Amino acid sequence: MSLKKNVSTSMDELVGLCKRRGFIFPSSEIYGGYNGFYDYGPLGCELKRNIKDAWWRDMVHRRDDMVGLDSSIIMHPSIWKASGHVEGFSDPMVDCKESKLRYRADQLFFAPVSVAGSVIGYVTVLEAPDQQELAEAAADSLKRKQGVQGKLDPLVLRDYTEAQPKEYALIPSPATGKPGSLTPPRDFNLMFETHVGALRDASAVAYLRPETAQGIFANYKNIVDTGRVKVPFGIAQIGKAFRNEITPRNFIFRSREFEQMEIEYFISPDADWRQLHQEWIKTRLDWFVSIGLPRESLHQDVHQDEKLAHYAKACTDITFRFPHGQQELEGIAVRGDFDLMQHQQHSGKSMEYFDEASKKKYVPHVIEPSLGVDRTLLALLTAAYCKDEVDGEERTVLKFHPRIAPFKAAVFPLVKNKEPIVERARALYQRLQRRWNVFYDASGAIGRRYRRQDEIGTPFGITIDFDTLEKDGSVTLRDRDTTEQTRMSEDELFSFLEEKIDS
RNA sequence: GCGGGUAUAGUUUAGAGGUAAAACCCCUGCCUUCCAAGCAGGUGUCGUCGGUUCGAUUCCGUCUACCCGCACCA
C-alpha cells in the first residue's frame, strides 16, 4: 500500500464528498439553495456533536475551574448596546464607481485643502501611520498643479463617515485621484434584526446574537452568586450565532448562521495575564491535536498592538491550513474588564467580585478562547481527507480520530446468505450499539463495504466469519488507515475500542 | 457589492430547436470464506421564472446557487 499525502485537498472535492455521503447539504436546496446557510446531514450532525462533546468534556467536565451555560439567542437589546455591537458592529463601506475598489469608510480619510481660507479642492488618504504627512504632501501637489500661491491652511483630516452629502462629489477617489467617483458610505450592520411581541415598531426591535460571549457576561453575576465559583474560573457556552455577512464564502468557513464554542475565563486584574494567555494558547493547541489535527498544520497569529481592537490587551489566533488558505480557527483574546465594565455601566448592577484570598474587591478581567464549531469541523475534514492506493485501486479515506468519527465501527457478516453468520453479526452489532454509534452492513462484497466505511471515516471494521462460529468465537478487526486485520475475542474487542475511542 | 465563469441522474460527463444518454454509484435477487468481482433486474436527470417558436433542456432575458479574482471579514 502506498500513501499519498493530502497536500492539496481541494474545497470542491470536499464539498462533493460532504454532499454525496450526507455530511453537509446546502440549506433549502430544493428551493435553489440559500447563500450563507448550510445543513448538517446524518453524518455531519454526528461529527459536529462529537466535536462539541469533546470540547465540553475537556474544557468543562475534566476541569475544576469551569462551569457551563446555555443562554438565550435573543436577549435584551440593551446587551448589544452595552457591548458596542449596535453602534460598532457595522462597517460603513464606500465604493469607487470607476475603479470598482471598495473601502471601509472609517479607514478612508479626507480633508478640504484651503489657502488663505478659500477651498481649492480635496485630498484623500487611506488610513496609515503617516497619513497626516501623506495628506499634506497631496495637498501641496494639488496647490502646485492649480498654480495657487500662498500658504496652505492646516489640514484637518476627517474619516469618510463624517463627510457631508455636498462633499461626496468633491472628494477624490484614492484609486483614480479624480473627484466624484466615490459612493456615499453605505451602512451595514452585521446583526440580524427581528421583532419581539405583537408590535413591529422600533421599540420591539431585537437582535439574533452575533456571538455567544455576551450571554456569558450577562450571566456572570448570576453564576458568581450561585455557582460557588472562585476567581480564576471560566464559563463555557456552545451555541448558534448569526452574522449577516456581506459575502459568505468558502463553504462552511464563513456562513451567516454558525455555532460557537466560547469561554470567558475570569481572572484577577493583578494576575499575570500574559502567562495565563500563553497557558490557554497551549491548552487549546493541545486540544486540537487531541481530536486529530496535525500539530504542524496549526499556527499562531499574534496580533500586533496596533491591530488590536480597543478593548483587547492581546490576541492570538490559532490558524489552520484550510483548502482556501491559512485561516483563523480560534481567537484567544485578553479582553481586560471592558465587557463587564460596559454592562456594569449600562445595567447599573455591580459586577464587582470579592476576592476572599486577597480581601480585595474588583471587576475581573477575562481571557476569551473563542472558536467556531463549523470551522473546526471543516478543519477536521480537511485534515482527514486522503486518497490512498490499496492493491492498485484508489480509495478515498477520511482519517478521523476515533473520538470524533461519526461511526466508531461497522459490523459485517462476511457473507449474507448464511443465516448463522448474519445472526451472530447482528447480535454483536446490537451489543456495540448500546455503547457507541456503530453501523451494520451486509450488502455487497466485503471489500466494497470496507471502502464505503473508509469514505465516511469509520475507523474500525469488524467482520464475523466462519471461524467465529466454528472455532474460537474471535472476530476480525480491520483498521481503516492501514487496512490491516487482527483477530480478537469479543471481550478484547470491547476493551480495544474503549481504549481507542474513549481515552 | 463589482468583474469573469459554470449549472443535464447521487457523481463524472455526452447530446440535439422535435420522445434525453453512458459509466460509476445506489436498491433488490442469485452467487460469493476478507478489500469497489460476476450475473439478472430496478429507481432516478436538463437550477428558477419569463420571452421567441407550432414546439425550448437547447436560442434570448431574469433570478438563484456555486466557483475564481477584487473588496470585506468589530
Report residue A326 as a C-alpha cell: 491559512
Strand partners, A327: A320
Distance separating alpha carbons of residues A111 and A130, to the nearest angstrom: 15
A99 pLDDT above the threshold of 70: no
If DSSP codes are grouped into helix, strand and coil, which group holds residue A459? coil
If DSSP codes are grouped into helix, strand and coil, which group holds residue A244? coil
Distance separating alpha carbons of residues A236 and A127, to the nearest angstrom: 37
**Closest nt to A104 (CA→C1')?**
B72
CA–C1' gap, A253 and B74, in angstroms? 18
Strand spans (E) along A134-288: 158-159, 193-195, 205-207, 233-242, 257-267
Residue whose C-alpha is closest to residue A3's, from A390, A384, A380:
A390
A6 pLDDT above the threshold of 60: no
**Smallest CA–C1' distance to B11, residue:** A20
A3 pLDDT above the threshold of 90: no
**What value does the mean pLDDT take over residues A380-388?**
91
Among the residue ranges A48-57, A93-102, A183-192, A355-364, the one predicted with the least confidence is A93-102
A29 pLDDT above the threshold of 70: yes
**What value does the mean pLDDT take over residues A59-73?**
97
The pLDDT confidence band at residue A284, using thresholds 50, 70 and 90, is: very high
- Whether the ω angle into residue A232 lies within 30 degrees of 0, i.e. cis, is yes
Among the residue ranges A28-37, A83-92, A378-387, the one predicted with the least confidence is A83-92
pTM of the predicted model as reported, rounded to 2 decimal places: 0.86
Output A91 or A332, whichever has higher pLDDT. A332
Residue whose C-alpha is closest to residue A260's, from A371, A378, A419:
A371
Residue A226 Cα distances to A73, A392, A461, angstroms: 22, 63, 48
CB A174 within 8 A of CB A103: yes
Four-CA torsion A412, A413, A416, A420, nearest 10 degrees: -150
- CB of A254 lies under 7 Å from some atom of strand B: yes
A119-139, pLDDT tens digit by residue?
A: 888 888 877 777 788 888 888
CB A102 within 8 A of CB A262: no
Residue whose C-alpha is closest to residue A24's, from A37, A35, A9, A6:
A37
Query: Position A356: which residue type?
Result: E
- What values do phi and psi take at A125, rounded to 5? -135, 150
| pLDDT for A1 | 30
Distance separating alpha carbons of residues A284 and A317, to the nearest angstrom: 11
Cβ partners under 8 Å of residue A1, min gap 6? A388, A389, A390, A391, A482, A483
Q: Check residues 172 to 211 of chain A and report those whose beta carbon is under 7 Å from nucleic acid strand B.
A: 190, 210-211
- CB of A16 lies under 7 Å from some atom of strand B: yes
Q: Would strands A460-464 and A409-413 be described as parallel, antiparallel, or unpaired?
A: parallel
| pLDDT for A246 | 80
DSSP H or E stretch at residue A104: strand A102-104
Among the residue ranges A232-241, A306-315, A374-383, the one predicted with the least confidence is A306-315
CA–C1' gap, A453 and B9, in angstroms? 24
Among the residue ranges A49-53, A175-179, A228-232, A368-372, the one predicted with the least confidence is A175-179
CA–C1' gap, A31 and B49, in angstroms? 13
**Smallest CA–C1' distance to B2, residue:** A100
Supply the ipTM of this predicted assembly.
Answer: 0.91
Distance separating alpha carbons of residues A217 and A242, to the nearest angstrom: 18
- CB of A89 lies under 7 Å from some atom of strand B: yes
CA–C1' gap, A9 and B1, in angstroms? 30
Residue whose C-alpha is closest to residue A404's, from A48, A23, A46, A50:
A50
CB A480 within 8 A of CB A457: yes
Calculate the CA A228 to chain-centre distance.
31
The pLDDT confidence band at residue A100, using thresholds 50, 70 and 90, is: low
CB A500 within 8 A of CB A459: yes
A304 pLDDT above the threshold of 90: no
CA–C1' gap, A448 and B16, in angstroms? 38
Among the residue ranges A28-32, A44-48, A264-268, A431-435, the one predicted with the least confidence is A28-32
Bases of chain B within 7 A of a CB of the protein: 1-3, 10-12, 26-37, 47-48, 64-74
Q: Check residues 438 to 497 of chain A and report those whose beta carbon is under 7 Å from nucleic acid strand B.
A: 443-448, 450-452, 454-455, 463, 465-467, 476, 478, 483-485
CB A210 within 8 A of CB A243: yes
CB A215 within 8 A of CB A75: yes
CA–C1' gap, A449 and B28, in angstroms? 17
**Smallest CA–C1' distance to B48, residue:** A32
A215-268, pLDDT tens digit by residue?
A: 999 999 999 999 789 999 999 999 999 998 888 888 999 999 999 999 999 999
Q: Check residues 284 to 303 of chain A and report those whose beta carbon is under 7 Å from nucleic acid strand B.
A: none
Cβ partners under 8 Å of residue A429, min gap 6? A411, A438, A440
| pLDDT for A32 | 84
